[in-house]
Amino acid sequence: DDPETLNAFAAPGGYIFVYTGLIKFLEEKDDFVGVMGHEMAHADLRHSTQQLTQQYGVATLLSLLLGQDQELLTNVLGSLLGLKFSRDDESQADQFSVIYLCETEYAANGAASFFQKLIDQGSANPPQFLSTHPNPDNRVEAINMEAEERMCDTAFDSDAQAWMAFQNSLP
């Protein structure tokens, strides 16, 4: 619950967290679905787990599960919020968001419109999403191409009522 933070992240174990700020920033349901697809891919492909394992080592993470080390827990949670994924991880997560969404009723390229919005917003006030995710340059094009090659539906839901009601229900 932080209306000022434009971010989302995937934690080991398949948990995905989206800040209320990001939900309020996304104008359409399909934008949100695109971000969800992207974060699901990070979780599904175990990008977060790999990053944390690289940073702390398996032994340390196991001791976290078994012990009561509050300081270690705080450190690992802090790292989770600041995880920086490689360009390859990001491209893969973008690609898989299209693959997942292609089978659903939602627009397959919702992640592209999200990145387009970040680009349109300009660099004067870079959203936090970009501090943990590399620059959106070329990603919009790659996502749209993936959707086109797979012949996915890219039409956004024209009925914005339910999405707006959800946004307005947030604190």
Between 87-102 and 110-121, two packed helices, what is the crossing angle to 10 degrees?
Answer: 130
CA atoms of 168 and 132, how far apart (whole Å): 27
Instruction: Please state the closest distance from residue 171 (CB atom) to Zn ion, in A.
Output: 26
Among 48, 51, 83, 133, binds Zn ion (CB under 5 A): 133
8 conformational bin, left if phi > 0, alpha if psi -120 to 50, beta if neither: beta
Q: Which residues 4-63 are close enough to bind Zn ion by CB under 5 A?
A: none
Of the two residues 45 and 64, which places its CB atom closer to Zn ion in the complex? 45
Cβ neighbour number for residue 126 with a 10 Å cutoff: 13
- Min CB(73)–Zn ion separation in Å: 24
Residue nearer to Zn ion on the CB measure, 46 or 64: 46
Specify the residue for token string 């012990």.
Answer: 67
Q: By C-beta, is 114 or 156 nearer to Zn ion?
A: 114
Helical residues (DSSP H) of 67-138, grouped into ranges? 70-81, 87-102, 110-121, 129-132
The residue count of the chain comes to 171
93/118 with CB nearer Zn ion: 93
Binding track over 77-116 against Zn ion, x by CB under 5 A:
-------------x--x-----------------------
**Is 48 or 154 the residue whose CB approaches Zn ion more closely?**
48
Per DSSP, the three-state class of 118 is helix
Task: Tell me the closest approach of the beta carbon of residue 41 to Zn ion, in angstroms.
Answer: 8
Binding site for Zn ion (CB under 5 A): 90, 93, 133
